[in-house]
Amino acid sequence: MKRRGLFWPLAALLLPVAGLAAAAQTELKLAAGSMAASSPVGIAVGELAKRINRYAKGAIRAKPFYEVQLADASGMVEALRGGLVDIGVAGNSYFSSLVPELQAFELPYLFANYLEARKVLDGPAADPVKRKLEENGIKCLAFWEIGFRHLTNNVRPVNSLADVKGLKLRVLPADIQMEAWKSFGAVPVALDSSLLHAALRAGEIEGQENPINEIQSKKLYEVQKYLSLTAHVYTPMILGIALRVWGKLNRTGRETILKAVGEATGLFRQVNDRLERENMDWLRRTKMEINEYPDLALFKKMAEKIHESFIEGKAERKVLLDAIKAAK
């Protein structure tokens, strides 16, 4: 009886400890921005959550959210900084309001192919912009990608730069993109990607530019007649974690996140490459008129002037752009 009497006070002391252990689980909200669960980004975000949960063994619980459940692409930056999202991914341009130097990666005709782009973004050339993101409360875990962008519209086939003149196009919401399309002769409009299909259907804009996977997954073929494979810009995506969250993780938690991110990034790129091939074949079977070999000579010549404008009077940008070009 005496032993039992000693047991109950001990048990009473242990109960709060067990409760504290359960409460110590870290919950992470993962957001895919405006991307659907079936998109390459959505698939990768889902896999990232699964792998975090598997490797954390209960210490971390990650939950994925898609499309605009937590935040659209435009709101992702503030959602990360404000606490609504813990880990989120969105296009590079949406972060450029915080770090204007990020626009360097989306200069027209900077990269010739995916191998070049991924080599640069995975290497030390990207370190300066990563540090600047951290200064603004976001740690870049990895660069994912939307891909190489192509031009669609409802007015006429685009076979050369002259055909762009006067087209009202939705473009990326970054200063350098607006400047680039104005120099190409278009009338650029900044618009969140979640509003794009409706705006095209209503005739509020005449065209847009997006990678093949986005043209297919957002069903833009329903509201666009002409597609030209211009591959004018490579668009990275930033997979970021709020620095306030990263700072609270212990070493094991951080290693868990980085391991899961590394695997999800490799998977994402495989899925993105495969779907781009499949979706291109799929679009060829639609009613869209596709120009697979437009004349890009004048586009590329104009791009050189845009590169010069981007670095003019800005030594830091010149150093970054030189490093990017040297790393290709």
Q: How much is the pLDDT for 3?
A: 44
Q: Write out pLDDT tens, residues 41-65.
A: 999 999 999 999 999 999 999 999 9
Q: Which of 42-46, 71-75, 83-87, 194-198 has the lowest mean pLDDT?
A: 71-75
Mean pLDDT, the chain, integer: 91
Question: Is pLDDT of 12 > 70?
Answer: no
What's the residue count for the chain?
A: 328
71 or 17: which carries more pLDDT confidence? Answer: 71
Q: How much is the pLDDT for 72?
A: 78
Q: Write out pLDDT tens, residues 197-233.
A: 999 999 999 999 999 999 998 899 999 999 999 999 9
Identify the CATH class of 25-327: alpha beta
Domain positions in the chain are 25-327
Alpha-carbon distance of 101 to 133, in angstroms, equals 10
Q: State percent of the chain over pLDDT 90.
A: 79
Q: Nearest to residue 117, comparing CAs of 21, 16, 234, 271? A: 234
Alpha-carbon distance of 138 to 125, in angstroms, equals 18
Q: Write out pLDDT tens, residues 293-319.
A: 999 999 999 999 999 999 999 999 999
The whole-model pTM stands at 0.86
Cα-Cα-Cα-Cα torsion 72, 93, 111, 213, nearest 10 degrees, comes to 20
* pLDDT (mean) for 125-150: 97
Residue 238 contacts residue 96 (beta carbons within 8 Å): no
Cα-Cα-Cα-Cα torsion 292, 192, 176, 151, nearest 10 degrees, comes to 10
pLDDT band at 27 (very low <50, low <70, confident <90, very high): very high
Q: How much is the pLDDT for 291?
A: 98
Q: How much is the pLDDT for 120?
A: 98
